Structure 1
């Protein structure tokens, strides 16, 4: 091993005699070895325990192990932000689900634990100023998206008024129908929703100034049967309702209007079906009704005005909880003085304020303006602008959509709707239990706050980078925090409408459709799955979640508890990536830790001073700014080690103003694979940046162009397989890769499917941008039966001959200015590093490449 693999001591670290280097922290004895800490001081505090803690629960796959012996979750927490540098402060927020206090301390994370029985978890206990016992308390969040218009004198002085909106309900249940969370259906099909239960849906609000605690105000809403309804209540607490006789149709546009006439003392409500895009459907008759009020009955005009929700419980310094949340879309919300006639309702439902009604207009809101922000514009002279709460979807098809375009950037008035959901959540807004200021001299690495509550142990991971502008190693491990966000709180039974090619016994290939449910993806034990099902609305999370009203989530947030960002969470995400950090420690290799979020903020400046950057097993989600940073680094002669699969795939813009939020819209397969329903393909432009959504290759930035390989298959159901050297492995340019490596088969072992190639795999494609001089030095052997996504919309049997068999291509190529890229094209690859005490051909290949990439000696481009 060269000296380049060892980190030089930071200038501001503790003296050598008091602070051993990270190489000395631990010595490994195999994948399940116990790590011992040496030395009397680690940084600013004493080393508490001379041995690391190793998980000791029982089991393997959940269907095979005695998971009932595992303790049930009684505590949950998260921190913000996820990453820090020395001097930064992280806030930790904790909730308990049983009585009693909890204990908190600090650990250095070395290795996660795929399944409890494997006893692989390694962590080093450290001193921290917050380490002590804390009283337990239950904290709640306030899910549900809406728009809020602040209280104003103009709103409070309203007498007679009319409120109206176009509405497109996505969840209306027939009488007696129940919601189901785990149906045997695909995304977007009927029946997706919350856990299977006797629960029925509640009222769903269109527009309201209704205070749930006081029981006063007014609300235009759909009742539990989906019937348009209007209610008012004054300070005397008496509520008066008017309800139409027929429910609205699900996923069709209606114009619903209601009025309160102070002069006549009456309520009126009406609904009208809008033909619009579905012009050939049977006609739905308009309906209306009037209710005479008793003397003195009038609504209380006080508080905020909301679209998509009423005003729920008070929450201290935070906004009041959204209640009675709509699952559906609104377009063209209007509020006017007086009880309008049907003709006047039509006149104010257009795109511009009609001059002859301008004096009557109180609010005239347009969701098509400032898409991608939290602002909702009022086009009236009153400037009653609103703000979105909890990330409702914008840039979605509205009542004026006619199918002529698919980009909201071209005709925003066709995308003038806002979609609300009762399970949307941006920030759980839990109170902070304690904070941690990262001390000067704390080595860059992956850490966690460990919580102990009864028999249950919880970890809240976070990532510590070196001081800004400094590097403490020539290599950096880029932690894929954006992908961690996307997978947060993944539905255990999230299902995909997957076209698969299944090899038959006669050698033919048959195209089938199937859905994928596998415990290794969500990584949740049945206990954890039950906990999630009970609390899913209040947890929020990422984009692998089904909305109550169908379809999948487009927004992923870090400001919520994350059941998947754990140290024992199956073969994906952080748990799997610790195979690489464990290998670093076993080999005594010093690396800095940096994150996607940091790269988004700092760009190529974060990367430029490192000789080599390493990716983990699944860096799937990338923004354009992140890709710019990677390509800019390579253009400057940087070296890149992509040690995973299914990376750099999806366009993933960051929210322009809200921290910790990204957007993912998937329109593969005409919108039906991931889009949630037909409208997926019609809404294939990102809200946050106005660019094409979906795969980066569809947005003209194929991953093959950057790292040489790209996602080709997802053979989840098969065992992983070894690679086999190709003829190109004998090229002198690749000699350094295989120095000291014997045999043709590479990685016929491993903890992710018993092989180095598998789970999701990438292949080279010179047509899609793999550099023409790239060497495919090894390729996975046959997976046996192909189970994979058929990319490019290949859903029909006649396209099967065009689809390549699943493969993982180990690829190497040089770049300009002396740089190089090494890609393995497999999510399972790093699961083979620790085999046989880290002494195996996959480990040797990785070490060979890292050693050469750390060397400043430039690579030479081959001559054409």
Structure 2
């Protein structure tokens, strides 16, 4: 019985959509995996609140009729992480007399097999070469053999495989020294047909040639196919006459895409799958050039990982043709089967050419994707106990690593995760998911925390539209046209140049902006049409970060631009919203105290109905409005000179630190301590518009307290109604 219950608890009902945002009148596709034997039911809900805390605003879902509503067959769909490349060899007959060469750099060594490459025949026979802790492993048409060798992590090697009627002759070299490292000869090849496919960094799964396994963790470079088996003895860097080249796959071409380009005469191009890392250092890197665009041959390598994942590639279960008259808002595809439920959120904008509200909330979908599947390292007994007591969202990323990693994680080989995609279930982006066991509140981050703002708009009966980072990236400033006020959510951390341009243009053109978070506009990311649902980050030499890009790898593969902090790209958030990250610490909230400047009559409208000097000494996020990650004004970093600080936070609980990019030796500890605060500021603009910033991630968590009747709520209401 216990075993049956365990199996029951492992069963999962989960899904994702093909896009996070759509306009009324457009279509959204829904992809579902169900481990249950019975059918599941799908319907549509509008989400107004996502807080599972029984003492908080609760989870507020309201059913909406939809054409797709009904019953669907349960089908379990696997998620298959692991990056690899496939090259179809077409009419290239290489089983008789040819040499294949490739360079590789192992980044992870262990007892299990990691395949460097595989040649596959049309009938499915395989010749593959892989490595493990004690040397190479060869698989030749079902027979395996070992070549003992002590590989070193991070060292480049070159492998040359001569293919002839007499069999295989394998020679390995250490690139740095040019010395021969290993050698082996095998007997006559017994395959019945020619090789039809070359697989890089993986091998076909036994019994299912469309599925791949035994992924390589490391870098590959410069695979070549040459005429003549005798070329196994020739250095790859030596001149090879053009007539001897059958194929030369140059990973320095089309770096931002999934293309594998062949510079040889047969043009045997291929495709990378699951987004391995490109624009990384190869064996020829000299250290003289830090931008891959200026030394392509030094960055013509690809870093593969067993846990890369771009697209789960689940088939579509059903689509939703969004009605033209569906109001803009946050909606969810609700799935139910037996005792399981999942709600997949998505955002609906007004129909094209339809009337808009005066106010819009900009949801940080790039940040959601950046954090997708981040387990935070706090999945323990206390978390499970609270989850059960609250009836909170039941799935945690630590339990489901098959859905990939976040930009805060490390790959299995210890390298930082540079790419994240929306084409997979995003467990953190769910109603009822909480991030922390918050003793003073709900412990929400990102999407569930941001829904406190939508709940506030509903409570105040103020019409509001929703837009997303993805919309700004697709449409630029056009997505913000006609709005008088745009409000951010709690953590707009990740932005592209295009999204920043759109926001800046909106403010310059007369729109008002309310920045209701902290640690915003912080990391520069890149996107690319080849991977439209992915974002890329290269974490530079500064900033609050869980890993740092390797030397020479600070430039994005997607757009070729320098990554890292927007501050280090000379676009500090202080210039846009008056404040920028200054400190970070525990998930604990404190309060703000109004400044003398806030009592100036010209700001009386902001504080109408607010008689308190202390603001936000309460909240469902850490117990207070100011905390966790804090932003302050800083004229040296671009805060406009006419910025007015209306309130500053005080008395922090727990452990807080000054942001590392602000610390320059020999700044005293007293100065660093002075930076640990949050500033609420106001910036009047030329057209009578303004920028209002709160400087704290936890600010919106105070809105629902006392049924949305409190000084934080009133302050925000004054800001919003000013623009109505």
TM-score normalised over the length of structure 1: 0.77
**Which residue of structure 1 aligns with residue 547 of structure 2?**
675
| 8 A contact 2:45–2:62 mirrored in 1 | yes
Q: 1:210: which partner in 2? A: 120
SS of the residue 2:229 aligns to: coil
Superposed CA RMSD in Å reads 3.0
What is aligned with 2:106? 169
Question: Which structure carries more strand by proportion?
Answer: 2
Q: Does 1:543 align with 2:480?
A: no
- From 340, 360, 366, the equivalent of 2:244 is 360
Alignment check: 8 A CA contact 1:705 1:769 kept: yes
Of 335, 338, 350 in structure 1, the residue corresponding to residue 225 of structure 2 is 335
Deviations 1:261-306 (A, max 9, x none): 21xx13222222233xxxxxxx796323233415x62474343322
CA spacing shift, 1:776–1:141, aligned 2, 3 Å: same
Counterparts in 2 of 1:282-297, with a 5 A limit?
286-294=180-188, 297=190
**Counterpart Cα distance in 1 of 2:139 and 2:664:** 49
- How many residues get paired? 706
1:375-774 equivalent positions in 2, closer than 5 A: 375-493=259-377, 532-533=397-398, 535-537=400-402, 539-570=403-434, 571-669=444-542, 673-675=545-547, 680-717=550-587, 719-774=588-643
Distance 1:312 1:108, change over 3 A: same
For residues 656 and 376 of structure 1, the distance between their equivalents in structure 2, rounded to whole angstroms, comes to 16
Distance 1:824 1:140 in 2: 43
Shift of 1:530: 8.0
Matched-pair contact (CA < 8 Å) for 1:255–1:272: yes
Q: Is the alpha carbon distance of 1:724 and 1:468 closer, same or farther for their aligned partners in structure 2, counting shifts above 3 Å?
A: same
For residues 324 and 624 of structure 1, the distance between their equivalents in structure 2, rounded to whole angstroms, comes to 38
Change (3 A) 1:226 1:308: farther
Task: Report if aligned partners of 1:668, 1:674 keep a CA contact under 8 Å in 2.
Answer: no
User: Is the 1:618–1:827 Cα contact (8 Å) retained in structure 2?
Assistant: yes
Query: What is the rounded CA distance, in whole Å, between the counterparts of 1:642 and 1:72 in structure 2?
Result: 41
1:806-835, Cα deviation, whole Å (9 max, x unpaired): 211101102233321001011110110111
Deviation at 1:129, TM superposition (A): 1.9
- Residue number in structure 1 paired with 2:212: 322
Kindly provide the CA deviation profile for residues 414-456 of structure 1, in whole angstroms up to 9, marking residues without a partner as x: 2111000111111111111121111121111101011112222
Report the more deviating stretch, 606-615 or 158-167.
158-167
* Contact 1:604 1:629 (C-alpha < 8 Å) held by counterparts: yes
Please name the residue that 2:173 is paired with. Answer: 272
For residues 494 and 517 of structure 1, the distance between their equivalents in structure 2, rounded to whole angstroms, comes to 9
Q: How far did residue 519 of structure 1 move?
A: 6.2
- Residue from 139, 157, 160 that aligns with 1:231: 139
Instruction: State the secondary structure of the residue aligned to 2:528.
Output: coil
Q: 1:259 aligns with which of 162, 184, 187?
A: 162
Indicate whether 1:120 and 2:58 are aligned.
yes
For residues 713 and 217 of structure 2, the distance between their equivalents in structure 1, rounded to whole angstroms, comes to: 50
By how many angstroms is 1:545 displaced?
2.8
Structure-2 residue corresponding to 1:809: 679
Quickly say closer, same or farther: Cα 1:584–1:529, change in 2 above 3 A.
closer
Alignment of structure 1 residues 78-157 onto 2, 5 Å: 78-115=16-53, 118=56, 120-154=58-92, 156=93
For the structure 1 residues 526 and 800, does the alpha-carbon distance in structure 2 shift closer, same or farther, using more than 3 Å as the test?
Answer: farther
Measured after TM superposition, the shift of residue 401 of structure 1 is: 1.3
With normalisation by structure 2, the TM-score equals: 0.91
**In 1, are the aligned partners of 2:42 and 2:68 still within 8 Å (CA)?**
yes
- Structure 1: any 5+ residue segments left out of the alignment? 1-67, 176-200, 234-238, 276-282, 496-515, 855-864
Please give the secondary structure, in 1, of the residue aligned with 2:458.
helix
Partner of 1:775: 644
Once the two structures are TM-superposed, the CA of residue 795 in structure 1 deviates from its matched residue by 9.4
Partner residue of 1:50? Answer: none
